[in-house]
Amino acid sequence: MDQFRDVDYLDALDQIAPDWEHHGGGSSMPCLRHILVLATGEANPRVDVMPFAALDRGIDPAIDAILVDPLADCDIIYTSGTTGAPK
């Protein structure tokens, strides 16, 4: 999500991982390779950011057949417990 109310998540990402649009997490987050953004229409669009809607374009249908361990970690989602800015 790019923005919610007055919180601009892309600006926050700019502060912790400068130039993330071109180089993933850079030296501050070297394991970060891809960032997908769900555009809310509230923030100014970033040209070099892959929109969430582009995920299903050009995907090989064979990928759906790959089995995954149901106990494997899938997502780590940070939340502050509210819709406000993280504390």
Question: In the chain, what are the domain boundaries?
Answer: 3-65
Label the pairing between strands 50-51 and 36-37. parallel
**How confident is the model over 1-60, as pLDDT tens digits?**
788 888 888 888 888 888 787 777 777 788 877 777 777 876 666 767 777 777 777 777
Element (H, E) at 47: none
This prediction has a pTM of: 0.53
